[in-house]
Structure 1
Protein backbone atom coordinates (compact mmCIF):
# COMPACT_ATOMS: atom_id res chain seq x y z
CA UNK A 1 0.00 0.00 0.00
CA UNK A 2 1.55 3.31 -1.07
CA UNK A 3 0.56 6.60 0.59
CA UNK A 4 -1.02 9.25 -1.57
CA UNK A 5 1.16 12.11 -2.77
CA UNK A 6 -0.89 14.63 -0.76
CA UNK A 7 -0.85 12.65 2.49
CA UNK A 8 -0.25 14.75 5.63
CA UNK A 9 1.41 11.69 7.18
CA UNK A 10 5.16 11.26 6.59
CA UNK A 11 6.28 8.25 4.57
CA UNK A 12 6.99 4.94 6.28
CA UNK A 13 10.46 4.67 7.83
CA UNK A 14 11.74 1.22 6.77
CA UNK A 15 14.59 1.45 9.29
CA UNK A 16 12.06 0.95 12.10
CA UNK A 17 11.10 -2.64 12.84
CA UNK A 18 8.08 -4.35 14.32
CA UNK A 19 8.70 -4.89 18.06
CA UNK A 20 6.99 -7.83 19.74
CA UNK A 21 7.20 -8.36 23.50
CA UNK A 22 6.75 -11.99 24.48
CA UNK A 23 6.49 -12.08 28.29
CA UNK A 24 6.52 -15.90 28.39
CA UNK A 25 9.98 -15.95 26.78
CA UNK A 26 12.12 -14.94 29.74
CA UNK A 27 15.30 -15.12 27.65
CA UNK A 28 14.37 -12.13 25.51
CA UNK A 29 13.28 -9.63 28.18
CA UNK A 30 15.01 -7.90 31.08
CA UNK A 31 13.54 -8.48 34.54
CA UNK A 32 14.53 -6.29 37.45
CA UNK A 33 13.71 -5.91 41.13
CA UNK A 34 13.14 -2.40 42.39
CA UNK A 35 11.67 -1.27 45.73
CA UNK A 36 10.44 -4.83 46.34
CA UNK A 37 8.53 -4.97 43.03
CA UNK A 38 9.53 -6.94 39.92
CA UNK A 39 9.45 -5.10 36.60
CA UNK A 40 9.84 -6.55 33.12
CA UNK A 41 10.92 -4.19 30.34
CA UNK A 42 8.56 -5.09 27.48
CA UNK A 43 9.44 -2.35 24.98
CA UNK A 44 12.38 0.02 25.16
CA UNK A 45 12.93 3.48 23.75
CA UNK A 46 15.39 1.90 21.35
CA UNK A 47 12.54 -0.19 19.92
CA UNK A 48 10.08 2.73 19.74
CA UNK A 49 12.38 5.43 18.37
CA UNK A 50 12.34 7.04 21.83
CA UNK A 51 8.58 7.62 21.71
CA UNK A 52 7.70 5.49 24.74
CA UNK A 53 8.65 2.49 26.84
CA UNK A 54 6.35 -0.21 28.20
CA UNK A 55 6.99 -1.93 31.53
CA UNK A 56 5.16 -4.85 33.12
CA UNK A 57 5.02 -4.28 36.89
CA UNK A 58 4.33 -6.94 39.52
CA UNK A 59 3.62 -5.27 42.83
CA UNK A 60 3.30 -7.34 46.02
CA UNK A 61 1.00 -6.32 48.88
CA UNK A 62 2.46 -3.15 50.38
CA UNK A 63 4.72 -2.62 47.35
CA UNK A 64 5.28 0.50 45.31
CA UNK A 65 7.78 3.37 44.93
CA UNK A 66 8.32 6.38 47.19
CA UNK A 67 6.78 9.75 46.24
CA UNK A 68 8.34 11.20 43.11
CA UNK A 69 7.66 13.21 39.97
CA UNK A 70 9.16 13.27 36.50
CA UNK A 71 9.21 15.26 33.30
CA UNK A 72 7.23 12.78 31.18
CA UNK A 73 3.75 11.27 31.01
CA UNK A 74 3.13 7.94 32.69
CA UNK A 75 0.07 5.79 32.02
CA UNK A 76 -0.84 2.69 34.01
CA UNK A 77 -3.29 -0.07 33.09
CA UNK A 78 -4.16 -2.42 35.93
CA UNK A 79 -4.14 -6.03 34.73
CA UNK A 80 -4.66 -7.84 38.03
CA UNK A 81 -5.65 -6.65 41.50
CA UNK A 82 -5.91 -3.03 42.53
CA UNK A 83 -3.49 -0.21 43.13
CA UNK A 84 -3.96 2.95 45.17
CA UNK A 85 -2.45 5.99 43.44
CA UNK A 86 -1.67 9.14 45.38
CA UNK A 87 -1.71 12.04 42.93
CA UNK A 88 -0.98 15.54 44.23
CA UNK A 89 -1.89 14.28 47.70
CA UNK A 90 -5.25 12.76 46.72
CA UNK A 91 -5.81 9.00 46.75
CA UNK A 92 -7.68 6.99 44.12
CA UNK A 93 -7.93 3.21 43.88
CA UNK A 94 -7.69 1.74 40.39
CA UNK A 95 -8.91 -1.81 39.69
CA UNK A 96 -8.16 -4.46 37.06
CA UNK A 97 -9.28 -3.26 33.64
CA UNK A 98 -8.92 0.43 34.54
CA UNK A 99 -6.23 2.90 33.46
CA UNK A 100 -4.85 6.10 34.92
CA UNK A 101 -2.62 8.78 33.40
CA UNK A 102 -0.15 10.76 35.50
CA UNK A 103 0.64 14.11 33.84
CA UNK A 104 4.27 15.13 33.53
CA UNK A 105 5.75 16.94 36.55
CA UNK A 106 2.93 15.98 38.96
CA UNK A 107 3.93 14.50 42.33
CA UNK A 108 2.63 10.96 42.77
CA UNK A 109 3.26 7.42 43.96
CA UNK A 110 1.37 4.16 44.09
CA UNK A 111 0.92 1.39 46.59
CA UNK A 112 -0.67 -2.04 46.52
CA UNK A 113 -2.93 -1.67 49.56
CA UNK A 114 -4.62 -5.04 49.06
CA UNK A 115 -3.57 -8.40 50.46
CA UNK A 116 -3.00 -9.86 46.96
CA UNK A 117 -0.28 -9.24 44.38
CA UNK A 118 -1.16 -6.74 41.64
CA UNK A 119 0.08 -6.45 38.09
CA UNK A 120 0.00 -3.50 35.73
CA UNK A 121 1.56 -2.09 32.61
CA UNK A 122 3.23 1.31 32.69
CA UNK A 123 3.83 3.29 29.53
CA UNK A 124 6.15 6.30 29.80
CA UNK A 125 6.31 8.83 27.01
CA UNK A 126 8.84 9.76 25.90
CA UNK A 127 11.00 6.75 26.75
CA UNK A 128 13.85 6.78 29.24
CA UNK A 129 12.32 5.52 32.47
CA UNK A 130 13.32 1.97 31.57
CA UNK A 131 16.96 3.10 31.32
CA UNK A 132 16.78 4.65 34.79
CA UNK A 133 15.27 1.48 36.22
CA UNK A 134 17.98 -0.66 34.61
CA UNK A 135 20.65 1.56 36.20
CA UNK A 136 19.30 1.38 39.76
CA UNK A 137 17.55 -2.02 40.00
CA UNK A 138 18.79 -5.57 40.57
CA UNK A 139 18.48 -8.08 37.72
CA UNK A 140 16.28 -11.10 38.46
CA UNK A 141 15.88 -14.25 36.34
CA UNK A 142 12.14 -13.99 35.57
CA UNK A 143 9.00 -11.91 35.97
CA UNK A 144 7.88 -14.12 38.84
CA UNK A 145 11.22 -14.22 40.69
CA UNK A 146 11.42 -12.96 44.24
CA UNK A 147 13.36 -9.71 44.68
CA UNK A 148 16.69 -10.22 46.43
CA UNK A 149 16.77 -9.48 50.14
CA UNK A 150 19.12 -6.54 50.55
CA UNK A 151 21.06 -5.51 53.61
CA UNK A 152 20.66 -2.02 55.03
CA UNK A 153 24.00 -1.11 53.44
CA UNK A 154 22.82 -2.38 50.02
CA UNK A 155 19.50 -0.52 50.36
CA UNK A 156 21.34 2.69 51.22
CA UNK A 157 23.63 2.25 48.19
CA UNK A 158 20.62 1.70 45.86
CA UNK A 159 18.87 4.76 47.30
CA UNK A 160 21.97 6.93 46.85
CA UNK A 161 22.44 5.76 43.27
CA UNK A 162 18.75 6.41 42.48
CA UNK A 163 19.02 9.92 43.94
CA UNK A 164 22.30 10.65 42.14
CA UNK A 165 20.93 9.54 38.74
CA UNK A 166 17.39 10.89 39.08
CA UNK A 167 17.90 14.31 37.47
CA UNK A 168 19.64 12.74 34.45
CA UNK A 169 16.47 10.69 33.85
CA UNK A 170 14.07 13.64 34.36
CA UNK A 171 13.01 12.34 37.79
CA UNK A 172 12.84 13.93 41.23
CA UNK A 173 12.47 11.82 44.36
CA UNK A 174 10.34 13.66 46.92
Structure 2
Protein backbone atom coordinates (compact mmCIF):
# COMPACT_ATOMS: atom_id res chain seq x y z
CA UNK A 1 0.00 0.00 0.00
CA UNK A 2 1.53 3.30 -1.12
CA UNK A 3 0.46 6.58 0.48
CA UNK A 4 0.77 9.74 -1.63
CA UNK A 5 0.50 12.17 1.29
CA UNK A 6 3.30 12.73 3.78
CA UNK A 7 2.45 11.29 7.19
CA UNK A 8 3.24 13.45 10.24
CA UNK A 9 4.32 11.33 13.22
CA UNK A 10 5.90 12.08 16.58
CA UNK A 11 9.22 10.28 16.31
CA UNK A 12 11.63 7.88 14.64
CA UNK A 13 10.01 4.73 16.09
CA UNK A 14 6.68 5.85 14.61
CA UNK A 15 8.33 6.29 11.20
CA UNK A 16 9.73 2.75 11.41
CA UNK A 17 6.28 1.35 12.31
CA UNK A 18 4.61 3.27 9.45
CA UNK A 19 7.20 2.06 6.94
CA UNK A 20 6.67 -1.55 8.05
CA UNK A 21 2.96 -1.17 7.26
CA UNK A 22 2.89 1.04 4.13
CA UNK A 23 5.12 2.77 1.64
CA UNK A 24 5.13 6.40 2.77
CA UNK A 25 7.27 9.39 3.60
CA UNK A 26 7.05 10.91 7.07
CA UNK A 27 7.83 14.11 8.91
CA UNK A 28 8.72 13.67 12.58
CA UNK A 29 7.67 16.36 15.05
CA UNK A 30 10.14 15.11 17.69
CA UNK A 31 7.48 15.25 20.38
CA UNK A 32 5.09 18.01 21.39
CA UNK A 33 7.63 20.84 21.27
CA UNK A 34 7.02 21.53 17.57
CA UNK A 35 9.23 24.34 16.32
CA UNK A 36 8.58 26.77 13.47
CA UNK A 37 10.95 24.91 11.14
CA UNK A 38 8.94 21.69 11.44
CA UNK A 39 5.65 23.57 11.02
CA UNK A 40 7.02 25.18 7.85
CA UNK A 41 8.08 21.76 6.53
CA UNK A 42 4.57 20.41 7.22
CA UNK A 43 3.01 23.45 5.50
CA UNK A 44 5.11 22.91 2.36
CA UNK A 45 4.36 19.17 2.41
CA UNK A 46 0.61 19.91 2.62
CA UNK A 47 0.82 22.26 -0.37
CA UNK A 48 2.89 19.83 -2.49
CA UNK A 49 1.53 16.36 -1.65
CA UNK A 50 -0.93 16.63 1.20
CA UNK A 51 -0.43 15.69 4.83
CA UNK A 52 -1.94 13.05 7.12
CA UNK A 53 -1.52 13.75 10.84
CA UNK A 54 -1.07 10.39 12.61
CA UNK A 55 -0.12 11.00 16.24
CA UNK A 56 -0.34 8.83 19.34
CA UNK A 57 -3.79 8.39 20.94
CA UNK A 58 -2.82 10.22 24.13
CA UNK A 59 -2.74 13.77 25.52
CA UNK A 60 0.62 14.78 23.97
CA UNK A 61 -0.48 13.31 20.60
CA UNK A 62 -3.70 15.33 20.74
CA UNK A 63 -1.73 18.46 21.60
CA UNK A 64 0.51 17.96 18.56
CA UNK A 65 -2.53 17.32 16.32
CA UNK A 66 -4.22 20.50 17.59
CA UNK A 67 -1.06 22.61 17.17
CA UNK A 68 -0.62 21.49 13.57
CA UNK A 69 -4.32 21.89 12.72
CA UNK A 70 -4.37 25.40 14.16
CA UNK A 71 -1.27 26.51 12.22
CA UNK A 72 -2.02 24.57 9.02
CA UNK A 73 -5.78 24.19 8.46
CA UNK A 74 -7.17 21.60 6.07
CA UNK A 75 -4.92 18.66 6.97
CA UNK A 76 -6.04 15.04 6.82
CA UNK A 77 -6.20 12.93 9.99
CA UNK A 78 -5.79 9.25 10.82
CA UNK A 79 -6.67 7.90 14.25
CA UNK A 80 -5.52 4.78 16.05
CA UNK A 81 -7.69 3.38 18.86
CA UNK A 82 -5.81 3.40 22.17
CA UNK A 83 -6.31 -0.36 22.59
CA UNK A 84 -4.44 -0.97 19.32
CA UNK A 85 -1.55 1.29 20.31
CA UNK A 86 -0.70 -0.21 23.70
CA UNK A 87 2.78 -1.47 24.46
CA UNK A 88 2.82 -5.22 25.22
CA UNK A 89 3.36 -4.56 28.94
CA UNK A 90 0.46 -2.08 28.89
CA UNK A 91 2.60 0.82 30.15
CA UNK A 92 3.17 2.84 26.96
CA UNK A 93 0.86 3.94 24.18
CA UNK A 94 1.88 4.99 20.69
CA UNK A 95 1.84 4.41 16.96
CA UNK A 96 5.14 2.54 17.30
CA UNK A 97 3.38 -0.21 19.30
CA UNK A 98 0.55 -0.78 16.81
CA UNK A 99 0.40 -3.79 14.53
CA UNK A 100 0.88 -3.49 10.79
CA UNK A 101 -2.85 -4.29 10.37
CA UNK A 102 -3.95 -1.58 12.82
CA UNK A 103 -1.81 1.04 11.07
CA UNK A 104 -3.13 0.07 7.65
CA UNK A 105 -6.73 0.15 8.90
CA UNK A 106 -6.22 3.62 10.41
CA UNK A 107 -4.72 4.91 7.16
CA UNK A 108 -7.65 3.49 5.16
CA UNK A 109 -10.03 5.67 7.21
CA UNK A 110 -8.48 9.10 6.81
CA UNK A 111 -10.61 12.18 7.42
CA UNK A 112 -10.07 15.46 5.66
CA UNK A 113 -10.47 18.47 7.89
CA UNK A 114 -13.17 20.84 6.70
CA UNK A 115 -12.32 24.49 7.13
CA UNK A 116 -15.90 25.74 6.76
CA UNK A 117 -17.66 24.05 9.67
CA UNK A 118 -21.32 23.10 9.37
CA UNK A 119 -23.10 22.07 12.56
CA UNK A 120 -25.22 19.04 11.73
CA UNK A 121 -24.90 17.51 15.21
CA UNK A 122 -25.38 19.94 18.08
CA UNK A 123 -23.87 19.91 21.55
CA UNK A 124 -27.39 19.27 22.88
CA UNK A 125 -27.58 16.16 20.65
CA UNK A 126 -24.46 14.87 22.42
CA UNK A 127 -25.97 15.55 25.84
CA UNK A 128 -29.26 13.89 24.84
CA UNK A 129 -27.33 10.85 23.58
CA UNK A 130 -25.59 10.45 26.94
CA UNK A 131 -22.19 11.26 25.46
CA UNK A 132 -21.64 14.20 27.82
CA UNK A 133 -22.31 13.91 31.53
CA UNK A 134 -23.32 10.73 33.28
CA UNK A 135 -21.46 7.62 34.30
CA UNK A 136 -21.48 5.98 30.84
CA UNK A 137 -20.50 9.06 28.78
CA UNK A 138 -16.75 8.35 28.62
CA UNK A 139 -17.21 4.70 27.57
CA UNK A 140 -19.83 5.70 25.00
CA UNK A 141 -17.57 8.40 23.51
CA UNK A 142 -14.69 5.92 23.38
CA UNK A 143 -16.74 3.33 21.48
CA UNK A 144 -18.34 5.96 19.22
CA UNK A 145 -14.87 7.27 18.36
CA UNK A 146 -13.81 3.73 17.41
CA UNK A 147 -16.84 3.16 15.22
CA UNK A 148 -16.56 6.52 13.44
CA UNK A 149 -12.72 6.18 13.24
CA UNK A 150 -12.18 9.63 14.79
CA UNK A 151 -10.33 8.58 17.96
CA UNK A 152 -11.19 9.09 21.61
CA UNK A 153 -12.32 12.56 22.63
CA UNK A 154 -13.79 14.44 25.53
CA UNK A 155 -17.26 15.95 24.94
CA UNK A 156 -16.07 19.28 23.56
CA UNK A 157 -13.52 17.62 21.24
CA UNK A 158 -16.18 15.18 20.01
CA UNK A 159 -18.46 18.04 18.98
CA UNK A 160 -15.61 19.75 17.16
CA UNK A 161 -14.44 16.58 15.34
CA UNK A 162 -17.96 15.71 14.22
CA UNK A 163 -18.13 19.16 12.60
CA UNK A 164 -14.53 19.28 11.38
CA UNK A 165 -14.81 15.93 9.59
CA UNK A 166 -18.42 16.59 8.52
CA UNK A 167 -19.77 13.38 10.05
CA UNK A 168 -23.37 13.14 8.88
CA UNK A 169 -26.22 12.94 11.34
CA UNK A 170 -27.11 9.57 9.80
CA UNK A 171 -23.60 8.13 10.35
CA UNK A 172 -23.59 9.54 13.89
CA UNK A 173 -27.00 8.05 14.69
CA UNK A 174 -26.06 4.64 13.23
CA UNK A 175 -22.88 4.51 15.32
CA UNK A 176 -24.72 5.69 18.43
CA UNK A 177 -27.38 3.02 17.91
CA UNK A 178 -24.65 0.37 17.73
CA UNK A 179 -23.04 1.71 20.93
CA UNK A 180 -26.37 1.56 22.78
CA UNK A 181 -27.16 -1.96 21.48
CA UNK A 182 -23.73 -3.21 22.58
CA UNK A 183 -24.32 -1.59 25.97
CA UNK A 184 -27.63 -3.47 26.38
CA UNK A 185 -25.99 -6.81 25.44
CA UNK A 186 -23.25 -6.28 28.03
CA UNK A 187 -25.64 -5.53 30.91
Interval of TM-score (by shorter of Structure 1 and Structure 2): under 0.3
Q: Which has the higher helix share?
A: 2
TM-score by length of 1: 0.26
TM-score (norm 2): 0.24
Relative to its length, the structure with more strand (as a share) is 1
* Rg comparison, structure with higher value: 1
